């Protein structure tokens, strides 16, 4: 008999549509609603960066760089990742060196210590691999870092939160907040998010040729201070990123201020004058885990120039600097930004026929078509029928309902509604539907798909065979084939289960997160090495373990400036796992290792997964988990994973165990319109 969820019974009375869902069985019908008469969110006003705006940002940043005697590379992007300008001052560095990990040069893994000279790319040979020949680089490799910083500032921000790359640095490290006094504390709330928005992602559109977004970042999201969002009248319109040194790193200690990073922040901050975020939404007004986040240490009080009086862009001669083209990312001439919410931006308000809710936004192909309209599964799961289009719609709409009534974690003011992107995939990892709220951060689009694919992949009967069947990367950089294959035995030994990764356990991304930390349990000094992580002695944000091993060969494409001769774009697949459909594997845009994704089952058989991203990790978890639970009641045909097979039922005799990983985490008192305290227990 269908069970009435008291959470949905409460939130249903406040409004959002469950239209298109099938009826539940049994004598007690599930809660239903009709579409709300009016939106409960305020959509961002139409705004964009003009060519003159971009020139102003550059001119202000150049003036500050000159006042500091520190030549810089300055990049400006719009909200959906189009690179609007890359300006290189005379004397600015063109080379890039990705920060080495704690193990030193003899223990290089993944992207640690990669050196990219300004004209030719030469990658150091790691202990276990081979390196392809040097090739012509992307123009100015340091410009890739400036672009990544600008995109990060734009993508992590919204009308309710302004995050910088220093904020990103704080929330992706192995302890939070990162400083010597936090040894033994858990990892950052967005640990691993730096490996999203990848230039190989099949969700991100190629960077040149079309203006629709979201666009990829050449290096994923950046944790190197010196990137900020840009606003007009309270609306995010883009980002600015600055690079003045060859070092591409992070801030490992929030209590210490690296002078070169302060320089980069000051120059970028000068560029934001006149494009400031609204008062009260910068990261220092937002808490995570009881800690206030950091927006910048370079306040306007320390600027050495007066940005509002900066010489006009038209006065900058070739002796000061010039625009530089960057292969696959910037053509060499300043362009204006797209207005978020329009067809041309790639993200717009849905029509009733696309998603029957006045608050829904969808991804579009620029020609009017919904790129990820709800559809049936493309697979044939053994023992179960694929997800139907109606079931996919039900998961999306129920999750949207939960989101719309949930209290946000990373938005200001307090008691704002959560805003996220919701993705559903089938067992092949094929996207079956993506929908989002009006002002959800852009980064959550790619991340929600990564989370859905991650939960599906590790819960799938073919996970071990896929990892063991990973192909060599063909000499593009160096191969992680043996490294990735070895994860199967490592995880099985860690779990004490020689048949793990064959579908017997349902893994959420929260559970995978627990196994992907360099210390298990998370933050325990001297604990076990996480089986999906690099050991703590060599771990860094550029070498996280399986996450980076799967994708770093393709990141080298951006560093090498290698594109498809026919399209001029970087290849749109991030891993070399076996194909499950022509040209597609289950982890086409990589994995994600923080919470917010859960598998979906039909009578105990995996049929897909849901992924949520854009708010606090417990909010993300809850929205997906309760969204599937609501769809279970509405359809009577699909469910969350059976309790008996969830990963939190595993007893792990590691790290001073037995220990467990968590399956789902939901916040206390999560709803704006309800006093419910514990929304997830018993489901």
- Omega prior to 390 cis, within 30 of 0: no
pTM of the model as a whole? 0.93
Q: Average pLDDT in the 610-636 region?
A: 97
Question: Which sign, positive or negative, has the C-alpha torsion 126, 132, 136, 137?
Answer: negative
How far is the C-alpha of 425 from the C-alpha of 455, rounded, in Å?
10
User: Which residue has better confidence, 569 or 623?
Assistant: 623
What integer pLDDT is reported at residue 28 of this predicted model? 30
List the single range of 11-15, 330-334, 374-378, 543-547 with lowest mean pLDDT.
Answer: 11-15
What integer pLDDT is reported at residue 115 of this predicted model? 83
Q: Flag whether pLDDT at 640 surpasses 50.
A: yes
- Evaluate whether 129 touches 479 at the Cβ level (below 8 Å): yes
| Residue range(s) in the chain whose domain bears CATH number 3.30.450.150 | 6-38+346-460+595-642, 51-340
pLDDT band at 139 (very low <50, low <70, confident <90, very high): low
Beta bridge partners of 434: 423
User: Which residue has better confidence, 182 or 35?
Assistant: 182
Please name the residue that has the structure tokens 């005697």.
69
Q: Flag whether pLDDT at 16 surpasses 70.
A: no
Strands of 115-116's sheet in order across: 115-116, 96-98, 247-248
Beta strands in 526-603 (DSSP E): 597-602
pLDDT band at 119 (very low <50, low <70, confident <90, very high): low
Token output for 674: 């309800």
The topology (CATH level 3) of 51-340 is: Beta-Lactamase (3.30.450)
- Evaluate whether 62 touches 321 at the Cβ level (below 8 Å): yes
What is the phi/psi pair of residue 469, to 5°? -95, 10
What integer pLDDT is reported at residue 488 of this predicted model? 98
Q: Flag whether pLDDT at 625 surpasses 90.
A: yes
pLDDT band at 587 (very low <50, low <70, confident <90, very high): very high
Give, for 608, the enclosing helix (H) or strand (E): strand 605-613
Q: Flag whether pLDDT at 127 surpasses 80.
A: no
Q: Flag whether pLDDT at 10 surpasses 70.
A: no
Cβ neighbours for 472, distance < 8 A, ≥ 6 positions apart:
479, 481, 576
Using alpha carbons, list the distances in angstroms from residue 54 to 256, 261, 612. 32, 23, 33
Q: Flag whether pLDDT at 131 surpasses 50.
A: no
What integer pLDDT is reported at residue 258 of this predicted model? 79
Token output for 226: 């010196």
Give, for 435, the enclosing helix (H) or strand (E): strand 431-436
- Evaluate whether 631 touches 395 at the Cβ level (below 8 Å): yes
Q: Flag whether pLDDT at 462 surpasses 50.
A: yes
How far is the C-alpha of 175 from the C-alpha of 294, rounded, in Å?
15
What integer pLDDT is reported at residue 255 of this predicted model? 79
How far is the C-alpha of 360 from the C-alpha of 14, rounded, in Å?
16
List the single range of 287-291, 375-379, 616-620 with lowest mean pLDDT.
Answer: 287-291
User: Which residue has better confidence, 524 or 58?
Assistant: 58
- Evaluate whether 153 touches 239 at the Cβ level (below 8 Å): yes
Q: Average pLDDT in the 464-477 region?
A: 80
CA 296 to chain centroid = 21
Q: What percent of the chain has pLDDT over 70?
A: 90
pLDDT band at 514 (very low <50, low <70, confident <90, very high): very high
User: Which residue has better confidence, 534 or 138?
Assistant: 534
What integer pLDDT is reported at residue 138 of this predicted model? 54
Q: Flag whether pLDDT at 506 surpasses 70.
A: yes
What integer pLDDT is reported at residue 29 of this predicted model? 30
List the single range of 139-143, 385-389, 636-640 with lowest mean pLDDT.
Answer: 139-143
pLDDT digits (tens, 9 = 90+) for 163-175: 999 999 999 999 9
Strands 227-232 and 247-248: unpaired
Q: Flag whether pLDDT at 208 surpasses 80.
A: no
- Evaluate whether 240 touches 79 at the Cβ level (below 8 Å): no
Q: Average pLDDT in the 97-123 region?
A: 76
Q: Average pLDDT in the 32-59 region?
A: 86
What integer pLDDT is reported at residue 298 of this predicted model? 94
Q: Which H, E and C letters describe 392-428, residue by residue?
A: HHHHHHHHHHHHHHEECCCCCCCCCECCCEEEEECCC
- Evaluate whether 215 touches 150 at the Cβ level (below 8 Å): no
Beta strands in 147-295 (DSSP E): 227-232, 235-243, 247-248, 287-288, 291-292
What integer pLDDT is reported at residue 75 of this predicted model? 98
Q: Flag whether pLDDT at 664 surpasses 90.
A: yes
What integer pLDDT is reported at residue 409 of this predicted model? 93
What integer pLDDT is reported at residue 619 of this predicted model? 96
Q: Flag whether pLDDT at 426 surpasses 60.
A: yes
pLDDT band at 45 (very low <50, low <70, confident <90, very high): very high
User: Which residue has better confidence, 454 or 583?
Assistant: 454
Give, for 362, the enclosing helix (H) or strand (E): strand 361-363
What integer pLDDT is reported at residue 3 of this predicted model? 37
Q: Flag whether pLDDT at 338 surpasses 90.
A: yes
pLDDT band at 480 (very low <50, low <70, confident <90, very high): confident
pLDDT digits (tens, 9 = 90+) for 387-397: 999 999 999 99
Strands of 421-425's sheet in order across: 347-349, 361-363, 431-436, 421-425, 605-613, 597-602, 639-640
User: Which residue has better confidence, 17 or 180?
Assistant: 180
What integer pLDDT is reported at residue 474 of this predicted model? 55
Token output for 273: 């004058």
Token output for 405: 């009534």
pLDDT digits (tens, 9 = 90+) for 537-577: 999 999 999 999 999 888 887 887 777 777 777 778 899 99
Residue 658 burial by Cβ neighbours in a 10 Å radius (0-12, 13-18, 19+):
exposed
Domain range 6-38+346-460+595-642, its CATH number among 3.40.50.1980, 3.30.70.270, 3.30.450.150, 3.40.640.10: 3.30.450.150
List the single range of 133-137, 150-154, 360-364 with lowest mean pLDDT.
Answer: 133-137
Q: Average pLDDT in the 458-476 region?
A: 87
Q: Over the chain, what is the mean pLDDT?
A: 89
Strands 73-78 and 83-89: antiparallel
pLDDT digits (tens, 9 = 90+) for 250-285: 999 887 777 888 999 999 999 999 999 998 999 999
Q: Flag whether pLDDT at 410 surpasses 60.
A: yes
Q: Average pLDDT in the 177-185 region?
A: 85
pLDDT band at 479 (very low <50, low <70, confident <90, very high): low
Q: Flag whether pLDDT at 368 surpasses 90.
A: yes
Question: Please, what is the angle between helix 51-68 and helix 259-272, to 10°?
Answer: 150
């Amino acid at each position: 008999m269908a069970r009435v969820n008291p959470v949905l019974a409460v939130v249903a009375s406040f409004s959002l549509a469950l239209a298109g869902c099938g009826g539940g069985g049994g004598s007690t019908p599930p809660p239903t609603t009709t579409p709300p008469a009016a939106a409960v969110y305020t959509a961002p006003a139409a705004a964009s960066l003009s060519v003159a705006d971009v020139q102003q940002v550059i001119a202000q940043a150049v003036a500050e760089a000159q006042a500091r005697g520190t030549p810089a590379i300055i990049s400006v992007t719009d909200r959906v990742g189009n690179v609007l300008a890359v300006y290189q001052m005379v004397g600015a560095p063109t080379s890039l060196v990705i920060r080495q990990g704690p193990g030193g040069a003899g223990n290089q893994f993944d992207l640690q210590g990669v050196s990219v000279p300004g004209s030719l790319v030469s990658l150091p040979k790691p202990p276990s691999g081979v390196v392809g020949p040097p090739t012509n680089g992307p123009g100015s490799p340091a410009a890739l870092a400036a672009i990544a910083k600008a995109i990060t500032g734009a993508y992590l921000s919204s009308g309710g939160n302004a995050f910088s790359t220093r904020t990103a640095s704080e929330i992706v490290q192995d302890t939070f907040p990162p400083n010597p006094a936090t040894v033994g504390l858990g990892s950052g709330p967005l640990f691993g998010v730096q490996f999203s928005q990848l230039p190989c992602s099949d969700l991100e559109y190629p960077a040149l040729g079309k203006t629709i977004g979201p666009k990829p970042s050449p290096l994923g999201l950046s944790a190197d201070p010196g990137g900020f969002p840009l606003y007009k009248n309270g609306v995010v319109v883009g980002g600015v990123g600055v690079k003045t040194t060859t070092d591409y790193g992070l801030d490992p200690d929030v209590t210490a201020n690296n002078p070169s990073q302060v320089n980069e922040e000051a120059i970028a901050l000068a560029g934001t004058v006149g494009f400031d975020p609204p008062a009260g939404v910068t990261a220092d007004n937002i808490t995570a885990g009881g800690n206030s986040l950091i927006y910048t240490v370079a306040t306007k009080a320390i600027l050495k120039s007066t940005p509002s009086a900066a010489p006009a862009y038209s006065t900058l001669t070739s002796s000061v600097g010039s625009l530089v083209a960057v292969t696959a990312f910037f053509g060499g001439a300043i362009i204006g930004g797209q207005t978020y919410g329009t067809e041309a931006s790639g993200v717009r308000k849905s029509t009733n026929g696309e998603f029957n809710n006045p608050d829904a936004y969808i991804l579009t192909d620029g020609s009017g078509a919904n790129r990820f309209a709800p559809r049936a599964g493309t697979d044939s799961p053994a023992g179960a029928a694929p997800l139907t289009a109606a079931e996919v719609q039900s998961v999306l709409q129920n999750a949207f309902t939960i989101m719309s009534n949930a209290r946000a974690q990373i938005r200001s003011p307090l008691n704002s509604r959560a805003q996220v992107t919701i993705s559903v995939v089938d067992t092949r990892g094929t996207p079956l539907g993506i929908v989002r709220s009006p002002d959800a951060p852009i980064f959550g689009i790619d991340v929600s798909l990564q989370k859905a694919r991650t939960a599906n992949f590790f819960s799938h009967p073919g996970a071990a065979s896929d990892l063991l069947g990973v192909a060599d990367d063909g000499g593009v950089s160096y191969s992680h084939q043996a490294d990735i294959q070895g994860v199967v035995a490592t995880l099985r030994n860690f779990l004490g289960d020689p048949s793990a990764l064959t579908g017997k356990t349902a893994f959420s991304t929260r559970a995978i997160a627990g196994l992907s930390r360099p210390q298990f349990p998370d933050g325990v000094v001297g604990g076990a090495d996480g089986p999906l992580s690099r050991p703590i002695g060599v771990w860094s944000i550029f070498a996280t373990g399986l996450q980076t091993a799967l994708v770093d060969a393709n990141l080298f494409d951006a560093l090498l400036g290698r594109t498809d001769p026919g399209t001029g774009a970087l290849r749109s697949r991030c891993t070399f796992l076996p194909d499950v459909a022509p040209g597609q594997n289950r982890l086409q845009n990589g994995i994600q290792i923080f919470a917010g994704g859960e598998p979906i089952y039909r009578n105990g058989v995996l049929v897909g997964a849901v992924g949520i991203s854009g708010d606090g990790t417990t909010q993300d978890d809850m929205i997906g988990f309760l969204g599937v639970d609501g769809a279970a009641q509405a359809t009577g045909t699909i469910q969350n994973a059976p309790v008996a097979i969830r990963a939190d039922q595993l007893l792990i005799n590691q790290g001073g165990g037995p220990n467990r990983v968590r399956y789902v985490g939901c916040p206390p008192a999560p709803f704006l319109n309800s006093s419910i305290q514990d929304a997830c227990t018993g489901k």
